Structure 1
Amino acid sequence: MEKRVITVLLVVAGASLGVSFMPYAWTAIGQGGNQWLDNVFTNLLIGAIIFYLLSLFLVKHISTALTYIEKKLSELSLTYLLFGAIGTIIGLLIGVIISLPFYNWDVPFVKGVAPFLIMILLGYLGFQISTTRIEEWKKIFTSSKKRNEQQAEQELLERNADDHFRKYKILDTSVIIDGRVYDIAKTGFLEGTLLIPNFVLYELQYIADSGDSLKRVRGRRGLDILNALQKEEDISVEMYDGDFEEIQEVDSKLLKLAKLLDGTVVTNDYNLNKVAEFQNVPVLN
């Protein structure tokens, strides 16, 4: 099927070239005024036949070349191809704009060849610039909030082992709803800072708005516990505004955040406790 498509495309290209260039050929051999030879149908037919004969020899090589190109492209990342295509398009557009004055010149080379060379050169430069600086382009197109989160994560990951840092106690939904964490925190048993991620707060709000009366009561009690913790001057409470959009489950987000901050997960969830132990994340149950 692929070879047939290539053959058809070559024949169509040959027909188009025949209509465009065969009149010059008839003029060169002195048959320019012959209506039987120098007409659109004849020129189209001759061009199509010539390129059909050429396709008998070229179609196999073209098919092999296309397969090779397809294989090489499949090895490249989607990001690389996307930025490369955008850079090439921008380069070609700039080339078209720059080439416009050259079309008004009567010099054959300048009028016919120079615009083509300029567009090819700028298209290539656009491709090179966009693909060699992908990380820089990503930073430009990333939102400021996301950049701040990534910068904070990078700083935390790059700190030395002997650096002084706060030990976070990351509360999950179950331990907040349970309520006893408030009394334990007041005794000073939980040293460091209690950290409440936004995605846990959203889950509490979802439970508090539930149609199930039992869930609704539990969710509202959890929100009351958080408010009580924040009002205690002796208890350090912070919110974490970041989110891990690529992760759906709240428990998985908690574990990733604990790894990122070297924090300890505080939970009543037995399954979360076991998963955290398996992933070497400290847990207070």
Structure 2
Amino acid sequence: MSILILLFLITVGATFFSWIFKGVDIVNFDGILIVLGSLILSILIFKSIKKMSSSQLFFTFVGVFSGFLVGTLLSIPLLIFSTNLKTVAFFITTGFIYGCGIYGYKKAEKIKLTDLLTVIKKESLWDEPKVLDTNVLIDGRIADLVELGFIKGTILIPRFILREIQYIADSPDPLRRAKGKRALDILQRIQRAERIKFEVIEKDIPEIKEVDIKLVELTRGLKGTLITNDLNLIKIAQLRGVPVLNLNELAQAMRPPVLPGEVLRLFIIKEGKEQDQGVAYLDDGTMVVVEEGRPYIGKSIDILIHSILQTGTGRMIFGKPRIDNQEEHTE
């Protein structure tokens, strides 16, 4: 800060000395007044700036700059008509600088710089920020999407979500502790990603105790998008009009299409719930129920797909062994 003040003083001195000595006598009365006024103003700024908060400093600077522009514009006609009016022009400019600076200083008491930056970020910089839920971090797929560039912009993690993850990571239950540590690792991967801006926000809603509702209301206030795979949280967000990106729905949409009549060669892993059923899985984890497939457990066979059932949790595909497999098995 001292260096900035020193640079300011040097700039002011150099500017006004160049104004005075450019074809003007060194003992010119106007020049002496300008130099003295500049020095007094610099001393006042130097003493006051140490006591000012960031908001007061910012709004005072905006006021001073605005006053300088207005004062300069009003002083130009005076300088055009007569060069002997430099002192009057100087005091007009100084008066506007002082008045606008004081106005900005007083306005800083009502408007906080942090609130202004939040508005600026929310409207222009964040560009619909994405807010992460605990479950989506434990799931882990979000890190791959970020690193591959499918999710861009600003990703926000509320402090209360971070505390929840830390609580899970410190759990005495080994399974919960492993999930919490996985979520922290995923956060580090997202933070290191180059194509997004990652930020932990301190904003909280203390009057709301339920974490899910608090997360929804925070996302709604930020005009952001909630990224989650929690069905209950999705329903709450939809009721409140909050945009949601469901990673489960995204995964389903990215699955390769399978149509009735297609033939797939799959490995029968286990028996199904019904008699003579076998169970296989596609590469993306989709379950394939193979009717009359129990005799083929532990083998790879060609399966003729005859129906597809879409459920709330995903797809189930039904098929039968192709006739060639049955003949081969009989032989």
TM-score (norm 2): 0.38
Higher helix fraction: Structure 1 or Structure 2? 1
TM-score, normalised relative to structure 1 = 0.44
